[in-house]
Amino acid sequence: MSLASSNTMNVTEGVRKAAILLMSLEEDDAAQILSMLPRRYVESVSIAIAQLDTVSGHEQEKIILEFLKSRPSAIGPNSGGLDRAKSLVKKALGKDAGDMLSVLQQTLEALPFGFLHKTDPQNILTFLIDEHPQTIAMVLSNIPAAVAAGVLNGLPSARQLAVIQRVAEMGQTSPDAIEEVEKALSTRMALFMTQAYRKAGGVPAVAEMLNVSDRSTERTIMDGLAKDKPELVDEIRRLMFVFEDVIKLNDKDIQMLLKNVETNMWALALKGASAPLQEKILGNMSQRAADMLREEMEFLGKVRLSEVEAMQQKIVDVVRSLEDAGQLARPTEDQEEEFVA
């Protein structure tokens, strides 16, 4: 099946699948594929990427298997967004990207709360601080996670919990409710925006916000939620740190993890891991141990994806346990490691 939808496929669904497939790839690879598509498809797919929020690993896996029928791979939640779409368009079209970027910008200006996407979180907080938690949740669910996290950080602890619970439980939001809040905010902030209908909120939105929040805010919210909704905490944590994120750990923490995970567990978990992650783990082992692990991985042959994912989740649980015990630290999003002499 090609990236472009066939005559028998619903066009909207075909474009969405193509967008999710490209989001699941490394950016350079996705841009190379995008550059091979007819221009009309580049426009449709790039707009779809810009409009998509976090896409679950399960949905990515389903679409990748449908398109490529490839071997199993470890897939975690992935995100689209305007910046991702712009970057792909620039890499795909090069100097000819100007017109397409203009189309993207004009199309997305109609998204709900679009005028807040580049607004300083403190300015947004000024207008939302006294609003009902449900109203704040609606706004935060419709703006970029980094901006939403900035607003969330400025709320009192009790209101943080009230807002985040509503974000997690939010599904389809009615156009009328969005329009009412938009009009009130646009009047107060002297800006204009149009009504739109979109799915927002949910557990992935919470996980993305907390991933870019400071650690104290994350712990306060998770500890508060754990009292009444422990199952929600588990669900959020599964999306906040996935197995592929192990590659972000420094060598010292990788070695701590190796001490707490059996070799046979790594053999199964790494069957579906990316090559860089495999090398990261093997590179922190002795030559003999690394050779033995490679042999064990080869001996396993083909394995079920469900078994691989289950083992990967067990290792992620070990990471969280070690973090809770203060024995390692997960890096925050885009955090640079600092070193001292």
Could you report the per-residue pLDDT of 223-246, keeping only the tens digit for each? 889 888 888 888 887 777 778 889
Q: Per mean pLDDT, which range of 210-219, 220-229, 242-251 is the poorest?
A: 210-219
Q: Specify whether 222 is located in the same domain as 262.
A: no
Q: Residue 290: give its domain's CATH number.
A: 1.10.220.30
Q: Specify whether 37 is located in the same domain as 64.
A: yes
Q: Does 335 fall in a domain?
A: no
Q: Specify whether 60 is located in the same domain as 144.
A: no
Q: pTM (2 decimals)?
A: 0.41
Q: Specify whether 272 is located in the same domain as 218.
A: no
d(CA 6, CA 10): 8
Which of 187, 193, 130, 120 lies closest to 150 in space, CA to CA?
120
User: pLDDT (tens digit, 9 = 90+) per residue, 172-181?
Assistant: 777 778 778 8
Q: Specify whether 77 is located in the same domain as 25.
A: yes
Mean pLDDT for the chain overall:
76
305-to-21, 73, 270, 288, 308 alpha-carbon distances in Å: 18, 8, 11, 28, 5
Q: Is the dihedral of CA 129, 133, 137, 138 positive or negative?
A: negative
User: pLDDT (tens digit, 9 = 90+) per residue, 189-211?
Assistant: 764 333 334 556 788 888 878 87
Q: Specify whether 139 is located in the same domain as 170.
A: yes
Which residue segment(s) compose the domain that 99 sits in? 11-108
Contact yes or no for 121/91 (Cβ under 8 A): no
Residue 79, classed as helix, strand or coil, is: coil
Total domains in the fold of the chain: 3
Domain boundary among 239, 269, 290: 239
Which of 155, 110, 138, 151 lies closest to 201 in space, CA to CA?
138
**What mean pLDDT do residues 144-170 have?**
89
User: pLDDT (tens digit, 9 = 90+) per residue, 44-87?
Assistant: 777 777 767 666 777 777 777 776 554 444 444 445 555 666 67
Domain boundary among 55, 82, 108: 108
User: pLDDT (tens digit, 9 = 90+) per residue, 82-130?
Assistant: 566 667 666 666 666 666 666 665 555 556 776 676 678 888 888 888 8
User: pLDDT (tens digit, 9 = 90+) per residue, 22-40?
Assistant: 877 787 777 778 777 777 7
Contacts of 149 (CB under 8 A, 6+ apart): 121, 209, 210, 212, 213, 217
Q: Specify whether 41 is located in the same domain as 55.
A: yes
**What mean pLDDT do residues 266-280 have?**
90
Q: Specify whether 230 is located in the same domain as 256.
A: no
Of residues 12 and 308, the one with the higher pLDDT is: 308
Q: Does 337 fall in a domain?
A: no
How high is the pLDDT of residue 9? 34
How high is the pLDDT of residue 192? 35
Q: Is residue 260 predicted with pLDDT exceeding 50? A: yes
Domain boundary among 239, 266, 292: 239
